[in-house]
A and B are shown apart, each in its own frame.
Chain A
Amino acid sequence: MALSEIAEAGHRTDVLAGTKPRKQARNRRWAFLGVVPFFAYIAVFLLIPTGKLIVGAFTTTTGAFTFSNIASIFHAPYPAAFEFSVELSALSALWGGIMGFLVANAVLHHGVPRWVRPAYLSFSGMAANFAGIPLAFAFTATLGNLGVVTILLKHLGFNIYPSFSLQGLLGASLVYLFFQFPLMILLMIPVIEGLRKEWREAASNLGATSFGFWRHIGLPVVTPSLLGLMVLLFGNAFSAYATAYALGISNLVTIQIGQFINGNNVFAPQDAYALAFGMIVIIVITIIIYTLLQRRSSRWLK
């Protein structure tokens, strides 16, 4: 830190001595050239395609302005797809959020053996990134029709089929839980670590039990973060495609959009644009809620 202060002071003397300002001003004018390649790349591969689909959601094939594309996503089968997407994302976010919070809290308890923390953290890092095709088939091998656990339960006298299926709300949310739950553990750990140790000690000195601490201090402070991260998990599940595709779920928004694309062709592009736009709207709403909750929680947490 001292070094940077010296550097700052050096700057100031340079400015006072009048040797650098002109050069610096000239540098600043041309400095933006250094980021042109990056912004050009982002424009071509992210901004322009996004702009194109947003414009496409509001124009006819001939280029005239219209609301009829947007109106079409309120007709079957799309509302049902949006509904199932929201239900599945919300359920997996709720489960994942609560369990992730409880496990993060347990992992951080200083009484647990020393190996627990690195074991759970590194495994969580792996599982949170283990979404997609292999995850879907891992659960087929576990809870599918001929899955290892399905057959084990059958031997024990519990026949989960046909009432259970990996394509239903319960089954699919269990699969999603495999990446939501560890993600929540990783995201929740810094939040719980941010709870000041002094509060815990003060509460304990005043005779509070661990339960009392959480009820009156911990939970009220942590709740905005907890809700914010659950909203984030919702967005994470909402945009999942590969896992659902491999499970064979068809009534999800992402799968419906995928059906319009084959190679470099987009069939019925107007509907695809409108659905994609609908997804963007929902994700933007989740990010706004997340940001508001995050702002609220940063008041108390370190």
Chain B
Amino acid sequence: MAQVSASPAAPAALSSHRLRRVRSRVPVWHLLWLLVAAIFFLLPIYSVVQFSLEGTLPGQGVFHWYETVFDDPMFRSTFWLSIQISLETVAVSLLLMVPTVFWIHLRLPRLRPVMDLITILPFVVPPIVLIVGLAPMLRKFSWLIVRPEVLALIYVVFALPFLYRALDAGLRAIDLRTLVEAAESLGSSIPGTLLRVILPNLRAAIIGGSLLTVAISMGEFTVASLLGFFTFPVYTYEIATSTAYEGVALSFISFIFVWAAMLALYLLGSGGRGAAGVAITD
């Protein structure tokens, strides 16, 4: 955009270029704020690492608490349960959202304001509020409430705003109508077009939205603990209240997990846009 505005008048471009060189000395307070932020972010992480290596008895290894945690069969089973729930959440979310958002863009653009409103609702009704209304309803379905899959069905609602936003942006970026008409004129059906033409074009949006969905579902504690399921965050909490060192080691493991997911998301957005996917409204 800067290039466009600079190109018509060469002198203007020249002066802005000179300005940039003059101003490229960074003011001290900018560096100060960057330093304050770095210390604030890194101090807890340093402390977690330091703390999780402390408190061992003589003869025990440096990574004693990590070894203890990895040897705990509950660690493996809860981690696996959370992974399973996350993947189920991603599967249900994609099955529900991709055709819907595609269809709204193609045939029902008038519904877009409605969708914007619906995607704000999960913030108006946060997990702790939703569960107050949902728990008595679910009680009537006693076969469902005892199964951990019920968590995936609920997490779909929490992931909705992020997945919708990712898919919406992805569909805005392609010329949907032309693609669909081209496919139709070549004899493709609507489901065939969605599967073979639109999905490959939405790959980045789908992977990005899915990564955020996994991050949300893996870390969700409120609903899981209140409905009495023993997921990974609930296990982390239980362990930490009995042995602080093990709990902190588990916290570091979750931290690495979230970081990996967000790093993948950032690399996917290849510089800037992707990282804006955060658990919040605009």
Contact = CB atoms under 8 A, between A and B. Distances in A.
Interface residues of A, number: 109
A217 interface: no
A31 B109 CA distance: 11
A198 B12 CA distance: 10
A121 B266 contact: yes
Contact of B107 (A28, A182, A261): A28
Nearest to B180: A7
B240 A246 contact: yes
B1 to A, nearest CB: 9
A137 interface: yes
Contact of B19 (A177, A201, A235): A201
A134 B138 contact: no
A289 interface: no
Contacts of A273: 132-133
Nearest to A263: B228
B50 interface: yes
A267 to B, nearest CB: 11
B266 A125 contact: yes
Interface stretch (A50-58, A73-81, A154-162): A50-58
Contact of A118 (B221, B251, B271): B271
Contacts of A141: 44, 47-48, 50-52, 244, 248, 251
A45 B123 contact: no
A19 interface: no
A186 interface: yes
Nearest to A281: B124
B20 to A, nearest CB: 6
B258 A129 contact: yes
Interface stretch (B29-37, B71-79, B83-91, B195-203): B29-37
B129 A279 contact: yes
B96 interface: yes
A257 B129 CA distance: 8
Contact of A4 (B157, B178, B215, B254): B178
Contacts of B33: 99, 102-103, 105-106
A264 B139 contact: yes
A261 B131 contact: yes
Given A38-B97, A107-B34, A133-B237, A49 B133 contact: yes
A126 B145 contact: no
A46 B157 contact: yes
A146 B26 CA distance: 39
The dominant DSSP class at the B interface is helix
A169 interface: no
Interface residues of B, number: 109
B45 to A, nearest CB: 7
A236 interface: yes
B147 interface: no
A174 to B, nearest CB: 9
B122 A46 contact: yes
B280 A183 contact: yes
Contacts of B153: 45
Contacts, number: 316
A111 B266 contact: no
Given A3-B175, A133-B221, A262-B228, A99 B37 contact: yes
Given A49-B137, A111-B25, A133 B251 contact: yes
Contacts of A45: 134, 153-154, 156-157
B236 interface: yes
A122 interface: yes
Given A142-B43, A148-B46, A264-B139, A34 B132 contact: no
B63 interface: no
A133 B251 CA distance: 8
Contacts of B50: 141, 148
A282 to B, nearest CB: 10
Nearest to B119: A42
A102 B28 CA distance: 13
A28 B51 CA distance: 62
B70 interface: no
A4 B281 CA distance: 31
B133 A129 contact: no
Interface in A103-132: 103, 105-107, 109-112, 116-118, 120-132
Contact of A111 (B23, B139, B215, B250): B23
A19 to B, nearest CB: 14
A35 interface: yes
Nearest to A3: B178
Contacts of A50: 121, 125, 129-130, 133
A181 B108 CA distance: 38
Contacts of B104: 35
Given A7-B177, A130-B258, A242 B221 contact: yes
A149 B25 CA distance: 34
A103 B33 CA distance: 6
A242 B130 CA distance: 15
Given A128-B278, A147-B51, 6 more contacts: A118-B266, A126-B263, A131-B219, A141-B50, A279-B128, A287-B120
23 contacts: A31-B108, A45-B156, A46-B122, A46-B125, A50-B130, A103-B33, A106-B26, A106-B33, A106-B34, A107-B34, A111-B25, A112-B34, A126-B259, A130-B255, A131-B219, A132-B219, A141-B44, A147-B51, A186-B275, A187-B280, A245-B222, A265-B139, A279-B129
